[in-house]
Amino acid sequence: MKTRLLIPLFLALAYGQALAADGKITINSPANGAMVSATAKVPVNYEAMLGPKGDHLHLYLDDKRIDVLRQLKGNTELDAMTPGKHKICLTENTKWHMSTGLETCVEVTAQ
């Protein structure tokens, strides 16, 4: 009898985990592997579909948070970067600024 009660509970928990993973973030530009100018601001075009726990996005450059983005589709800019390789990431976050685990990144080279 206890097994009959545990199976629906397990399924509900598993379904909740699947919902938490729903969502998608896309960095449209710059493209992964792109060369960008080291002397000019770098435009970033993005779009996101948040999962059920998502509230907003965080923009990171080389693991440093640069901005909080509330628009789910748009453009922002990064200041000029030092020459070399850099990683630009967007993460989905809860209203308490905790990452949900949904993230997308592109690597660029500034020259």
**Does residue 59 sit within a domain?**
yes
Sheet containing strand 35-36, edge to edge, reads 35-36, 99-110, 84-93, 56-61, 64-69
Say whether pLDDT at 7 is over 60.
no
β-bridge pairing 84-93 and 42-49:
unpaired
Task: State the CATH number of the domain containing residue 32.
Answer: 2.60.40.10
Digit-coded pLDDT (tens) for 35-90: 999 999 999 999 999 999 999 999 999 999 999 999 999 999 999 999 999 999 99
**Does residue 106 sit within a domain?**
yes
**Does residue 33 sit within a domain?**
yes
Q: Between 82 and 4, name the one with better pLDDT.
A: 82
Confidence of residue 21 (pLDDT cuts 50, 70, 90): low
Sequence-separated (6 or more) residues with CB below 8 Å from residue 98? none
**Does residue 16 sit within a domain?**
no
Residue 68, strand partner residues: 58
Domain that holds residue 70: 23-110
Tally of domains within the chain: 1
Alpha-carbon span 93 to 54, nearest angstrom: 5
Sheet containing strand 24-29, edge to edge, reads 24-29, 42-49, 73-78
| Helix and strand totals (H; E) in the chain | 1, 8
